[in-house]
Amino acid sequence: MIAEIRDFLNRERGYSLLLIGILVFYSFFLILSEKEEYTPSPAMEKIKTVQASFESHRDEQDYLAKFFNENKDSALVAAGSFIMFILFIIIGFIMSVVFFVQRIHGRSLLERVSDGATVAWGVGDIAKIIILFISISIITGIGFGSINDAFFHDQHKNLFIILHTTVTDIAILCFIMYFIVIKYKASIKTIGLNGAHVIKDMIIGGISYSMILPYLLAVIVLLSIIMQMIQFEPPPHPLVDIFLIEDRQSPFLIGFSIVLACVIGPFIEEIFFRGFCYNAIKKKWGVRAAMIVTASFFAFIHQSTFSFIPIFFLGFILAYLYEKRGTLIPSITLHIVHNSLFIGYFFLLKRCVIDRIG
């Protein structure tokens, strides 16, 4: 492994220089940046207000009933959503039992639709795309940050966060397409982007998510209990600030953020992690290693200590689904459903509770 890294750095001088530049930048950033004391954002202040309100009435048995009695529309929405959610979990649990029974009898519900041909690119190409992505991220981050400070006095921070995310997402998609289509002259069908069985694959993706949701929620609940026991409060996702603060002020920004998080992000992430990375790692180290490595990378890139295990679990399932089906459509669908469900739950909580108390 060390010899391969050394060979890569000697052979790819341009990428080596970019890597050195990245390391120098982050070294100076760590040395020169002052350690600031953590201060909760306005969004977190609203959430803490809600938590404090419920904590102060924890001993009042009828407090929740009184709250929903005073907010009947919130009660109806919450009850309807809860019933649908429970039905979704029950269906998923039944489907998961059917799946395991079929597996025991040597039958599979996931029929492969592609030949699974070996791809031309390799692990070194993954390293190149990561180096290019980080470089673009640094350049656009400095650029947008400078514009925001110079002309808007940091008043549109959330807007520039979304712009930065959008530009870097488009950039990594362009890099991937360059390596697949131009450098290696392959078709995008090589990574499983084909429309042969779109509707069926989308249904498989949705059903697969219903199957894993009970287990995913169990992991999240267990982690929440552990975090509460050790009194660890994980930092909120940047989108939480945007959704809470910009909701009334900038509907367009909220709408685009939702599309970015629920559709564009999952689409590009599946192309990169499953379509590009998984195939290259699988070619070098095999299926199991590819599933574990891409799931770990997928969890690590989301930069959340609390969410690492649930995201790893999700990434492993996405890789398994891609391997068994041979197309990205089910994985993309599952990813979109997952993000949409959690963001939908957040907005439901915001409308029914946070906006009424915070």
Rounded mean pLDDT of 159-175?
93
User: pLDDT tens across 303-317, in order?
Assistant: 777 789 999 999 999
Please give the pLDDT value at position 253: 86
61 has a pLDDT exceeding 60:
no
344 has a pLDDT exceeding 70:
yes
Q: Which residue has the higher pLDDT, 185 or 118?
A: 185
Please give the pLDDT value at position 350: 72
290 has a pLDDT exceeding 60:
yes
164 has a pLDDT exceeding 70:
yes
Burial class for 205, CB neighbours closer than 10 Å (0-12, 13-18, 19+): buried
Rounded mean pLDDT of 337-349?
86
Percent of the chain whose pLDDT exceeds 90: 43
User: pLDDT tens across 93-127, in order?
Assistant: 888 888 788 778 777 667 777 666 789 999 999 99
CB crowding 147-174: b at 16 or more within 10 Å, else e: ebeeeeeeebbbbbbbbbbbbbbebbee
Report the 3 state secondary structure along the chain. CHHHHHHHHHHCHHHHHHHHHHHHHHHHHHHHCCCCCCCCCHHHHHHHHHHHHHHHCCCCCCHHHHHHHHCHHHHHHHHHHHHHHHHHHHHHHHHHHHHHHHHHCCCCCCCCCCCCCCCCCCHHHHHHHHHHHHHHHHHHHHHHHHHHHHHCCCCCHHHHHHHHHHHHHHHHHHHHHHHHHHHCCCCHHHHCCCCCCHHHHHHHHHHHHHHHHHHHHHHHHHHHHHHHHCCCCCCCCHHHHHHHHCCCCCHHHHHHHHHHHHHHHHHHHHHHHHHHHHHHHHHHHCHHHHHHHHHHHHHHHCCCCCCHHHHHHHHHHHHHHHHHHCCCHHHHHHHHHHHHHHHHHHHHHHHHHHHHHC
Range name among 45-54, 117-126, 165-174, 182-191 with the lowest pLDDT average: 45-54
246 has a pLDDT exceeding 70:
no
Rounded mean pLDDT of 233-244?
72
User: pLDDT tens across 13-50, in order?
Assistant: 999 999 999 999 999 888 877 665 556 666 666 666 76
